Structure 1
Amino acid sequence: MRRVVITGVGAVTPLGTDAATTWRNLAAGVSGIGPLTTFDTEGFPIRIAGQVPDGFDPKAAIPGDPDHRMYSRAGGFGLAATAEALRDADAGRDTYDADRMGVAMGATVERPDLRYLIDVGLLRETESDAFLVQSPKTVYAADQNTPLDAMVRMVGATGPMVGISTACSSSGHAIGEAFRLIQEGDAELMLAGGYESLTSWIDILGFSLLGAMTERHNDDPQSACRPFDADRSGFVVGEGAVVFVLEELESARARGARIHAEVLGYGSTMNAWRITDSPPDGSGAIQAMEAAIAESGLGTAGIDYVVAHGTGTVSNDASETAAIKKVFGDDAYRLVVSSPKSMTGHLTGAAAALNVLVAVGAMRESLVPPTVNLDRPDRGLDLDYVPHRARHTAVAAALVNAFAFGGTNISLVVGASSPDRRRREQQ
């Protein structure tokens, strides 16, 4: 079976507008959560989010792109992260034949702004051509394929193009499916990751009505996201993008590419439980983790670190902890486990990709970012969640989790790539 490695990383997150700054702030335990600025929050129960820093300009991040006005907020993040990942990988149009390169991205399917639709409805009472007030830019920005098409043009790819929308596991599925396409010989290089910005008033209101977001910390945003803490009360929405360049190992070596890590295993399952939360016993998540670990050939003893989904909701954190204990048994207490969402908020469609970035950084620097705001672990949540401060510890392989609204789960195993790594033969 062909081996798949990560040769490029790009990121735009609440902690920085590039991958290096994002990692540095994660390692330092910095919070990127603050007042929500994308709309007037007066009268809303939730007024905080993890937002990309003010001043980010996708036009500057994607020089020479004539279509930059056509991208949604999330699409701009995704394209900037893609441009950085390609620079990091020293990859582009001449790296491989066009039909051997492709794109797989996770994101929420864009939708029209509700206030705009109301305005159009009111106008149509008197104006028969009211729908002409919608500009082409609005149409393009609402199409999930617009950023993907721009990414394809960036690298000159004519191979596979895959857009995935599976809520909080979207970017994990995208990375997993890109991994499969390279494994099976359908591509040599894939851009893979996710981008998201669910920070409009309708998104915030919807999550609030579901009771999924914390409403307790509007006056103290940096303490709001509290994975595994006894006082956790819901997640905090975030936004951003994380994109990777994935390549077949021997092809990457032949062109002298720098290898950040190797993707070793991928598991994808459904809970068949509820739309909004995970089963208390961790089923679904258990099967995803077991499948990814089995494919890696490492066994549970070969995993050093779990980059947790860790949203800060009461049910998710308990379910994920139960699942880790079931999969790892007594080894669960040997592991380090942490949640970057405590610092960035929940990047939803880009969340799994952020967790992969964390895994890559932890292996490179032998440093595990902390779970901040973990002041008092909840009863029964007794794993080593690396509270408050980063931990210096060797990480040879990490398990990355993402569990989504609707009950879909993904797990990925990422490891340090080396010539003598022995992997289980695949059928």
Structure 2
Amino acid sequence: MSGFRDTGSLTDAAGRRRVAVTGVGAVTPLGVDAPTTWAGLMAGRNAIGKLTTFDCTTFPVRIGGLVPDSFDPATAIPAAADRRWVSRPGLFGLAAVGEALRSADLDPLTECPYPPSARGVAMGGSVGRPDLNMVLKVSEIRSATGRADAFVRPAPSATLTGNQNVALNAMVRLVGATGPMVGIHTACAGSGHALGEALRLIQEGDADMMVAGGYDSLTTWADILGFGLLGAMTDRYNDNPGAASRPFDADRSGFVIGEGAVAFVLEDLGSALERGAPILGELLGYGSTMNAWRITDSPPDGAGAIEAMESALAESGLGTGDIDYIAAHGTSTPGNDVSETRAIKKVFGDDAYRLVVSSPKSMAGHLTAAAAALNLLAALGAIRDSVVPPTINLDTPDRALDLDYIPHRARRMQVRAAMINALAFGGSNTCLVVGAPQEQP
């Protein structure tokens, strides 16, 4: 099936409610709000630099995409109670949620037309884990005292800060929601799953409004050491951070870690139109698959990604000729970029050489659980402004990668619909299709 859906109906071909994107907020290495992040993407600005979240002098990897120091939680999240027990990535997420609500012209406490039971939150984030600094401290104490039973008594605040649900609950309070709350921990596909599940909840009438996206900050010594030992991160550009993230380039050697949060307000299209909400785009399709080939690598033939893309495209009601842009997972790892390119070719056939593909990770690094949400921000910006962000550092073509990856500079072109890919560690894959706002009755 090809062609855009009937704009006279507020339900899709399956009779489900259509879902609009009405607000966006972001805290990323490119900027502490969504407009600055989008401007950085359009400009092809590199946000990779030296890691300052810990002393990485002796580490093989010493670079990453960090949120700028200009980010001030007290300004971005005025209520001290909301900030009190929230972790670093959670603060990014709270700020992004607040901006998304303002962007959608919503004040949940005074002017929101949806009752609390019809509002929900779905966010992708990292799974809470033990504080490895505490483990080291225990080891040091036992070595110094010779006592095998020596331990460290953690402060209650440390337990709360490390709990993933604390940040999520703070976001729920900010939204004023008593409806669905969904926390998803599927690594690099987390925000893709969160957006897709939020789409489903509104389509089926379980919610009228959802705030969805992702937040993450895997920039501790334990994260960098772990990814480094897995061989997934590049260690060749410590002295030249700006050249490190190079998706689809022949000299790519691994991903570059990033951090941040991106959140969106999704609403039932009919209700959004009734309240005069700004319509940024419409979520048209969602696909989710699992290939479980290897922990760190995608299957060389694109399996898993192929099925996710086909599923999202089928639900959207669009044909391969209707997609103009793919915001790719594009990690800059040798295997992923080949696998994703092969998947695109398999799904789109000859149309793969007509559309354009680019990777925001080339500029911001890999925001892990927030990566798919950053890609959706890029896609919505491309639809609105008719500008597709580039893939920077694509200096040396790889003969195995022959699609149009928009090297170096953004391109002016009309984008009617875009696809967003997220292909995670462990083989979890998501795909979303978003379309331009259509004229409505």
| Shift, 1:184, TM fit | 0.3
Hey, what's the Cα distance between the residues in 2 that align with 1:71 and 1:372? Answer: 34
1:362 counterpart = 2:382 = yes
TM-score (norm 2): 0.93
Aligned position for 2:36: 21
1:276 counterpart = 2:293 = no
1:10 counterpart = 2:25 = yes
Aligned position for 2:325: 305
Aligned position for 1:143: 163
User: Equivalent pairs: percent with the same residue?
Assistant: 66
Name which of 19, 36, 50 aligns with 1:35. Answer: 50
Structure 2, unmatched stretches of 5+, are 1-15
Alignment of 1:57-68 (within 5 A): 57-68=72-83
| Shift, 1:420, TM fit | 5.7
Once the two structures are overlaid, the 10-residue window that deviates more, 291-300 or 106-115, is 106-115
| Shift, 1:55, TM fit | 3.0
1:348 counterpart = 2:384 = no
The count of corresponding residues between Structure 1 and Structure 2 is 420
1:51 counterpart = 2:66 = yes
TM-score (norm 1): 0.96
Structure 1, unmatched stretches of 5+, are 422-427
Hey, what's the Cα distance between the residues in 2 that align with 1:9 and 1:248? Answer: 16
Alignment of 1:87-166 (within 5 A): 87-91=102-106, 92-93=108-109, 94-123=112-141, 130-132=151-153, 134-166=154-186
Alignment of 1:195-344 (within 5 A): 195-344=215-364
Aligned position for 2:93: 78
Q: Secondary structure at the match of 1:66?
A: helix
Q: Secondary structure at the match of 1:9?
A: strand
Aligned position for 2:11: none
Hey, what's the Cα distance between the residues in 2 that align with 1:65 and 1:102? Answer: 22
Q: Which amino acid aligns with 2:245?
A: C
Runs of 4+ in 1 over 2 A off after TM superposition: 120-132
Hey, what's the Cα distance between the residues in 2 that align with 1:410 and 1:296? Answer: 14
Aligned position for 2:8: none
| Shift, 1:376, TM fit | 1.1
| Shift, 1:109, TM fit | 1.1
| Shift, 1:417, TM fit | 2.0
1:239-276, CA deviations, whole angstroms, 9 ceiling, x for partnerless residues? 00000000000011111111101000000001131111
Hey, what's the Cα distance between the residues in 1 that align with 2:228 and 2:136? Answer: 21
| Shift, 1:131, TM fit | 4.2
Q: CA RMSD in A?
A: 1.5
Hey, what's the Cα distance between the residues in 2 that align with 1:205 and 1:129? Answer: 26
Alpha carbons of 1:183 and 1:138: their partners in 2 closer, same or farther (altered >3 Å)?
A: same
Hey, what's the Cα distance between the residues in 2 that align with 1:200 and 1:391? Answer: 36
| Shift, 1:299, TM fit | 1.2
Hey, what's the Cα distance between the residues in 1 that align with 2:440 and 2:119? Answer: 27
Hey, what's the Cα distance between the residues in 2 that align with 1:31 and 1:68? Answer: 30
Once the two structures are overlaid, the 10-residue window that deviates more, 66-75 or 175-184, is 66-75
1:170-202, CA deviations, whole angstroms, 9 ceiling, x for partnerless residues? 000000000000000000000100000000000
Q: Secondary structure at the match of 1:406?
A: helix
1:377 counterpart = 2:377 = no
Q: Which amino acid aligns with 1:342?
A: S
